[in-house]
Amino acid sequence: MKTHYYLGWFENFFPENLRKVLEEDITDRKSIVMISSNPSLEEDNGATERSWLDQAGIKFDEYHLINYRVQKEDAQTLIHNASVIFLLGGDILKQNAFLMEYELSDCIKESRAVVVGASAGAINMSAKWVCSEILGDQVVGSSVYDGIGLDKFSVLSHFDLENNMGLVLRELSPLSEEINIYASNKDCAVRKKGDKIDIVGDVYLISQSEIQKLDATI
Whether residue 118 lies inside any domain: the answer is: yes
Per 3-state DSSP, the chain is made up of helix, strand and coil in percentages (nearest 5) of 30, 30, 40
**Local structure of residue 76 (DSSP, 8 states):** H
**Local structure of residue 147 (DSSP, 8 states):** -
Proportion of the chain above pLDDT 70, given as a percent: 100
Is the pLDDT confidence value at 133 over 90? Answer: no
CA distance 80 to 28: 14
List of residues 6+ apart from 173 with CB closer than 8 A? 206, 209
In this prediction, residue 32 carries a pLDDT of: 98
CATH number of the domain bearing residue 141: 3.40.50.880
What integer best gives the mean pLDDT of the chain?
94
Whether residue 151 lies inside any domain: the answer is: yes
Q: Terminus-to-terminus CA distance in the chain, angstroms?
A: 19
Is the pLDDT confidence value at 24 over 80? Answer: yes
For residue 34, what are the CA distances in angstroms to 7, 18, 38, 70? 14, 19, 12, 12
Whether residue 97 lies inside any domain: the answer is: yes
Whether residue 188 lies inside any domain: the answer is: yes
- The mean pLDDT of 78-83, rounded to a whole number, is 98
Is the pLDDT confidence value at 42 over 80? Answer: no
Is the pLDDT confidence value at 157 over 80? Answer: yes
Whether residue 176 lies inside any domain: the answer is: yes
Q: What domain range is 20 assigned to?
A: 3-213
Reported pTM: 0.96
Q: Hey, what amino acid is at 25? A: D
Is the pLDDT confidence value at 134 over 90? Answer: no
Number of domains into which the chain is organized: 1
Whether residue 156 lies inside any domain: the answer is: yes
In this prediction, residue 113 carries a pLDDT of: 98
In this prediction, residue 64 carries a pLDDT of: 97
Whether residue 192 lies inside any domain: the answer is: yes
- The mean pLDDT of 160-170, rounded to a whole number, is 85
Q: How does pLDDT run across 114-123, given as a tens digit for each residue?
A: 999 999 999 9
Whether residue 218 lies inside any domain: the answer is: no
